[in-house]
Structure 1
Amino acid sequence: MVLVPTAVLIASVALVIPLAIAAVVSATALGLLQVALVWLLGIRAWPPPLSLVGFTAPGTSRFLTVLLCLAAVICSLGFAQLYTMTAIALGWDFLMPPELPAGLLLPGGFVVVSALALAVWTPIAEEAFFRGFVLRGMANRWGFAPALVVSAAVFAALHLSPALLLPVFVTGLLLGFLYLRTGSLWPCIAVHAAQNLVAVLTAWLAL
């Protein structure tokens, strides 16, 4: 309830300032809000015991953790590609994922700031909120399967784009399973960061 109007408000910033600056500002602000909500609603202690939301070493072996991360990235990107191809084949333009807008990244060496905001900070904040807080809290009360589905649906809905609902929902399922399987946020952050980095590199190469 707090995140949706905040996301809309912050997104409107792009109407009055350059898109690249707006992207960094919105990613930073939303991330800070998500981390603040995790602390306020879930931790409420200082210094915060980060293990409560999953900032711990994976409970799986290093080999299995890497294998699960690779599988999650491949399945997520693969489904997104299949979804896009299906939307094109059916002529359902309204379900076509939006292309990355021109001017998304800061110019020159400042592109590093965009990469840090979009491919490092955003994955950390979103995984702490959606997996470490929402999914973990629901799983404790409802059990694994309902929590996985509902948390993935919330994750998709808060991306505020009908065309992204299904692919982001599937990504949420994969990240949720990864979190519950490894018991750690770090693999989820790595997968989330890898996907966002693909988008950042795509936008950068298009400059």
Structure 2
Amino acid sequence: MPLYLGAASLMALACVRVGADLIAGIDPFLPPNRRPFIGAMALARRELAVDILRQIFLAGLVLGTALWRDGAGWRARLALDRRQPNGMRARNLLLVLLLWPLAHIVWVSATAAVFGTSFGQGTRLSPLLTPASVAAWLAYVVVLAPVAEELLMRGEIFRRARTVLGPAATILLTATIFALAHISAPSSAGWGLARPVSLLPLAIALGILRWRTGRLWPCIALHGWSNLALIAYVLWPG
């Protein structure tokens, strides 16, 4: 996992650094003390571009690895085919997808209260953001991140763990790795642990879905739907 994430991050940083500098007419190889200040908004756009490209490269690396290792069987490797019957009734799966965001919001809110962090309190999008930037950010949070992260966690890593572990151990292992990967920088509010703790139930639910259905698409759908529900809750007026 560190190799996948590290490689995707380095590729994204290099592309944004060189590409954005060339577009702005800046020599990307200038030393830091000679680089012109590009402004706060340009920096924010570059950060968003890095986040988006990181997910795209991550998904590409996972898919490329699966294709290299299993050839035509790459879909089965990542649970993207339909060879295995769906072990979960469609009605139950639909209920999980519909009801889970409510439980997730309650858990995240309770976690924030325990750790003394703010969640959903006065959050607003910056008025300086362009509609294109908002659309790109939403696509990143609701589509790109769920697809890339599920390809890695409940796709490649789940498959490898399942070859040596039972279902319960695999679910807990992938959930723990997923949560730990979201540890933020240490801060006075929660010491950076609030986010991984808040994500642990979601990670367990995603692992159970992967095991019960034998497919990755339900995990991607639940991950993206949960992210969208949180965004709507945080940004809802009033």
Between the aligned partners of 1:86 and 1:151, the Cα distance in structure 2 is: 21
Task: Compare the two structures and name the one with the higher helix fraction.
Answer: 1
Alignment partner of 1:143 is 2:166: yes
Give the 3 Å change call, closer, same or farther, for CA 181–157 of structure 1 in structure 2.
same
Alignment partner of 1:179 is 2:202: no
Between the aligned partners of 1:93 and 1:204, the Cα distance in structure 2 is: 20
Residues 64-121 of structure 1, C-alpha deviations (whole Å, 9 max, x = no match)? 2352253256345414423523652x5x315x55876744995225533322222112
Residues 164-184 of structure 1, C-alpha deviations (whole Å, 9 max, x = no match)? 112212111100110111111
2:75 aligned partner: 50
Once the two structures are TM-superposed, the CA of residue 50 in structure 1 deviates from its matched residue by 2.1
Between the aligned partners of 2:52 and 2:99, the Cα distance in structure 1 is: 25
Alignment partner of 1:130 is 2:153: yes
1:159 aligned partner: 182
Give the 3 Å change call, closer, same or farther, for CA 104–81 of structure 1 in structure 2.
farther
2:134 aligned partner: 111
TM-score by length of 2: 0.66
Structure 1, unmatched stretches of 5+, are none
TM-score by length of 1: 0.74
Mean CA deviation greater in 102-111 or 148-157: 102-111
Q: How many residues align?
A: 198
In the TM superposition, structure 1's runs of 4+ consecutive aligned residues that sit over 3 Å from their partners are: 4-10, 15-21, 45-48, 96-106, 199-206
Secondary structure, aligned partner of 2:81: coil
Higher relative contact order (CA 8 A, sep 6+): 1
Alignment partner of 1:188 is 2:219: yes
Mean CA deviation greater in 128-137 or 52-61: 52-61
Structure 2, unmatched stretches of 5+, are 18-39, 185-192
Give the 3 Å change call, closer, same or farther, for CA 189–86 of structure 1 in structure 2.
closer
